[in-house]
Amino acid sequence: RRHTGGGAAWQWAGMTTRRPGRHVPDSGLRLASLADVPRITAITAATSDEPWSPDLIAQLIGQPGGWAVLTAPAGVGLGGFVLGRSVGGEAEIVNLAVAPEDRRQGLGGALLNAAILRAAGDRATALFLEVAVDNVAARALYDAAGFKIVGRRPDYYARPGNSRIDAIIMRRDLVSPEA
């Protein structure tokens, strides 16, 4: 069975953000706009060895099929974001990050759920992402959400000291009632 969300009619209403044994009472999920680029840029600066530029973030949000979701725990802190795009029946999470001070509150799971719902609402049949092979927490989150390893990108992510590390490509199938 497929889950559809109707593209433009897609809404957050009724979405729950749960992890086993845990509920996030106020993750503050909302669609991001170009006005949110400075906040997203600040989160990438706090979480990445290769932070994204404001121009790159704005370009992704502004392109056809591009989308971003922000979260802020109870409206404080930097929170987190997920950036993605949906094109040609497939969707991709291009970046998902939670500020270090806001981790371990279920925000990553809430953002991942939002991305899955958005991709399904855009009628994508599959959702892809890349994750560093050494990012144990993220890989566990994606595994629990039903993503499967489908490939590998050698030397994809930068690390301190001019080193590089491989990325694992993961995929989750999405279904709709028409199938």
* Catalytic residue ranges: 130, 142
Sequence-ordered alpha helix ranges (H) in 63-153 = 107-121, 136-144
User: Rounded to whole angstroms, how far apart are CA atoms 125 and 130?
Assistant: 17
Residue count of the chain: 179
Six-digit token string for 56 = 């790159």
Compute and round to an integer the Cα radius of gyration of the chain: 16
Look at residue 92 and give its three-state secondary structure: strand
